[in-house]
């Protein structure tokens, strides 16, 4: 039913440079890479340009890179222009004072590059520490998020609308049903519930997010959102606003909005469908939870990779090694159509029907029963998949082969730690 991935935004606007001297071209190249990575929310594009000693607000090593990843994937606005104001030589490289312009802000951060023109520091957003974790989204440096002391653990009860998690939450004073959708990059709000001055919207200059069949229409951006759920308050969130009347009809309950990746990323998120509870565990400086829900050791701990805001993991079906994205907003699992023929001996045809998503488009596809999916010596038997492809722009094919949703997450107690890049799975019934 639900479109299971929201497209990464990408921008191709020009950069203005006013540098002179022998460093001109290499400085320009470093800034252009930074601009593209931020506007496309693609941290892997920037990572090769970070120096081995890269730090962010004094945090080095993996923590510094994790914070930079959050800045890139959560930066709230398009960088429209970067102009170099001054370049100062220093022993290990040089400082570059830039003017960074977006639709909402103009700031003058100082970047540090080493002698090889790799980035040592890039403080383009202020990250306020919350306990031992970083805040859930990045904002320009002149608009810091208020820090808050989050509890070690927050237990949030949920109900199911079909196979989609529904929680009670409040965004900027508008309370009601919110879908938990890690496949959405940020909070998504249903325009019909925000008719007063609860939020301020602005047009989106970059590409619209996509749904099951193509780009959504009529989407606007918003910011300065405060999410309250389960006694937890997360301020400084970015958001998108759209008409979700068709999604309400599909799901069968009123939907005020969707809670996406940016609100989940600072925590270890644990799903327990048997108890119908969601646990958000605060992380320490090593990106490990400061509290535990399950006393038993996990049955498996699996390294995950990230494609933008979507985690993906290795699995095996019928001897074929695949990579599958994970999306809490997906009612069913999906395999991209390129695998329909290679896997034909390992599934049974059930029916052909349509998939509806966050947009108003639909896709027809074959629904099949996959006899066994294996992952790290764990077997997931008799799972229902559908063969479809994700709507989006040509040339932006995701680096995985399908998506896992309800059936996978509900089979065993499962947790996602976006920052340590781990998936944790406990035995069924624990």
Q: Exposed, middle or buried: residue 12 (CB in 10 Å: 0-12, 13-18, 19+)?
A: exposed
> Beta-carbon neighbour count of residue 194 at 10 Å?
20
CATH 2.40.70.10 maps onto the chain at 153-282, 300-425
Residues 6+ apart with CB under 8 A from 319: none
The pLDDT value given to residue 46: 93
The pLDDT value given to residue 74: 76
CATH entry 2.60.40.10 includes domain 153-282: no
The pLDDT value given to residue 188: 93
CA distance 271 to 158: 10
The pLDDT value given to residue 149: 67
- Mean pLDDT for 145-170 is 85
The pLDDT value given to residue 146: 37
Residue 82 has pLDDT above 90, yes or no: no
Check: CB of residue 341 under 8 Å from CB of residue 335.
no
Considering only residues 262 and 5, tell me which one the structure prediction assigns the higher pLDDT: 262
| Angle value at C-alpha 145, between 243 and 65, nearest 5 degrees | 95
Residue 202 has pLDDT above 90, yes or no: no
The CATH architecture that domain 24-131 belongs to is Roll (3.10)
The pLDDT value given to residue 396: 52
CATH 3.10.450.50 maps onto the chain at 24-131
> Which backbone phi and psi does 173 adopt, to 5 degrees?
90, 0
The pLDDT value given to residue 232: 92
The pLDDT value given to residue 20: 38
> Within 13 A of 230's CA, how many CA atoms are on the CB side?
18
Residue 147 has pLDDT above 50, yes or no: no
The pLDDT value given to residue 279: 96
What predicted TM-score, i.e. pTM, was given to this entire model?
Answer: 0.68
* pLDDT tens-digit map of 121-138: 999 886 643 332 333 334
Residue 94 has pLDDT above 90, yes or no: no
* pLDDT tens-digit map of 305-343: 887 788 999 999 999 999 999 999 998 899 999 999 999
Residue 15 has pLDDT above 60, yes or no: no
Considering only residues 74 and 298, tell me which one the structure prediction assigns the higher pLDDT: 298
Q: Of 193, 190, 195, 191, which is closest to residue 179 (Cα–Cα)?
A: 190
Mean pLDDT of the chain: 82
The pLDDT value given to residue 296: 82
Rounded percentage of the chain residues whose pLDDT exceeds 70: 82
The pLDDT value given to residue 237: 85
* pLDDT tens-digit map of 39-56: 888 888 899 999 999 998
Residue 392 has pLDDT above 70, yes or no: no
The pLDDT value given to residue 108: 83
Identify the CATH homologous superfamily for domain 300-425.
Acid Proteases (2.40.70.10)
Lowest mean pLDDT among 9-23, 51-65, 212-226, 325-339: 9-23
Considering only residues 380 and 365, tell me which one the structure prediction assigns the higher pLDDT: 380
Check: CB of residue 109 under 8 Å from CB of residue 141.
yes
């Amino acid at each position: 039913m639900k479109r299971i991935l929201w497209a990464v935004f990408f921008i191709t606007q020009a950069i203005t440079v006013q540098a002179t001297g022998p460093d001109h071209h290499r400085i320009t190249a470093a800034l252009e890479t930074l601009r593209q990575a931020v506007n496309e929310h693609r941290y892997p594009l920037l990572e090769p340009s970070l120096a081995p000693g890269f730090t962010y607000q004094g945090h080095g090593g993996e923590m510094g890179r994790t914070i930079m990843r959050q800045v890139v994937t959560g930066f709230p606005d398009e960088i429209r222009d970067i102009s170099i104001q001054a370049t100062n030589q220093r022993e290990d490289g040089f400082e570059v004072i830039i003017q960074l312009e977006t639709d909402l802000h103009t700031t003058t951060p100082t970047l540090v590059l080493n002698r090889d023109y790799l980035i040592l520091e890039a403080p383009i957003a202020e990250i306020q520490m919350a306990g031992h974790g970083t805040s859930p989204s990045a904002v320009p440096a002149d608009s810091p998020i208020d820090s808050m002391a989050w509890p070690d653990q927050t237990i949030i009860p949920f109900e199911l609308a079909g196979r989609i998690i529904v929680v009670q939450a409040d965004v900027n004073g508008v309370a009601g049903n919110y879908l938990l959708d890690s496949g959405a990059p940020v909070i998504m709000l249903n325009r019909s519930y925000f008719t007063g001055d609860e939020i301020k919207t602005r047009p989106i200059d970059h590409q619209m997010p996509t749904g099951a069949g193509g780009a959504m229409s009529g989407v606007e951006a918003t910011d300065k959102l405060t999410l309250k759920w389960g006694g937890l308050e997360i301020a400084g969130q970015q958001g998108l606003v759209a008409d979700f009347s068709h999604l309400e009809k599909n799901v069968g309950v009123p939907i005020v909005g969707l809670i996406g990746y940016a609100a989940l990323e600072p925590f270890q998120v644990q799903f327990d469908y048997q108890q119908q509870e969601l646990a958000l565990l605060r992380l320490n400086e090593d990106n490990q939870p400061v509290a535990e829900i399950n006393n038993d050791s996990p049955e498996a701990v699996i390294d995950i990779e990230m494609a933008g805001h979507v985690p993906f993991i290795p699995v095996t079906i019928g001897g074929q090694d695949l990579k599958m994205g994970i999306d809490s907003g997906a009612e069913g699992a999906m395999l991209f159509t390129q695998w329909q023929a290679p896997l034909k001996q390992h599934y049974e045809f059930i029916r052909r029907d349509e998939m509806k998503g966050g947009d108003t488009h639909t896709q027809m596809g074959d629904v099949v029963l996959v006899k066994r999916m294996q992952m790290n010596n764990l077997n997931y038997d008799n799972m229902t998949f559908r063969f479809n492809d994700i709507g989006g722009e040509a040339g932006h094919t995701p680096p995985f082969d399908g998506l896992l949703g309800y059936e996978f997450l509900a089979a065993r107690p499962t947790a996602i730690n976006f920052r340590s890049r781990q998936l944790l799975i406990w035995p069924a019934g624990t």
